[in-house]
Amino acid sequence: VGKISENNKAIFNAFVNTVGKEVVVDICTYNYKSDNFREIISNNLGNYHYYVIMPHLIEETEENIKCLKKISGERLILLDKSLTSLQSNNSSIVCNTGEEIFRVMQQHVRIFKKYKSLNLVLTEEEYFDSELITGFREFCELNAFDFQVLDGLQDEVVEEGHVYLTMDDADLVAAIKSAQSQKFELGKQIGLISLNDSCYKEILAGGISIISTQPNQMGQLASQIIKEGKRQNNSMPMEMILRKSL
């Protein structure tokens, strides 16, 4: 993985719990750096029966693809992002982020109509698929919503009548603090959505609405592929859970 985020930990835990206690599972991080990525793979060739890789921010350069091709296709599973140069030779579980963010938001379009503007809050701290921006923009344009793409919320004051979709928990907390300082009521005067779930988001500020890539199911499905021993290419749908904050 690029980084041990809460979402990646959920995938890892679900994978470990499903694959069985008799299986030894190690986790390595490459910090979103291609050099680290290639070094970890090269140093571990032949050490494992299967390699489950999340190639976030790994471009399909000749060096990277050459390195990945050293792993036999039937032993390689790509999670969350596919690489077209390898797609026919390995298993994969991906989320078509642009299509999925559009679909789940469109399912709940009536809720968004009580707000006057939607804001997508990006971050440099967490990985996100750039297609998420495309899907968000298409949803807003189709439904004639005013919208902005913001670079973090640390220096921003949230505005009444706005929805904020945050990628990073630090921005989520900043939005809650700003709303509370202005005595805005979540779910009425301001809307908050967080990307991916955690146990505390169910109770934070009365409940934070989330859009999730379903990490538990992704981890379980990866372990199933190993147990069945067959190459598979699966698409993982997103889900939206509504809570008080929207």
pLDDT of residue 88: 67
Per-residue pLDDT at 38 exceeds 80? yes
Judge whether 73 and 207 are in contact, CB under 8 Å. Answer: no
pLDDT of residue 116: 94
CA distance 169 to 146: 24
3-state secondary structure of 98: helix
Quick check: pTM over 0.85? yes
Please compute the mean of the pLDDT values over residues 78-107 and round it to a whole number: 89
DSSP string, 18-48: HH-TTS-------TT-HHHHHHHHHHHTTS-
pLDDT tens figures, 151-163 = 888 777 999 999 9
Alpha carbons within 13 A on the beta-carbon side of 167: 20
pLDDT tens figures, 175-205 = 999 999 999 999 999 999 999 888 899 999 9
pLDDT tens figures, 100-149 = 999 999 999 999 999 999 999 998 766 778 899 999 999 999 999 999 99
3-state secondary structure of 186: strand
CA distance 50 to 143: 45
Alpha carbons within 13 A on the beta-carbon side of 136: 25
**Tokens 């921010």 belong to residue:** 57
Strand 91-94 with 233-235, pairing:
parallel
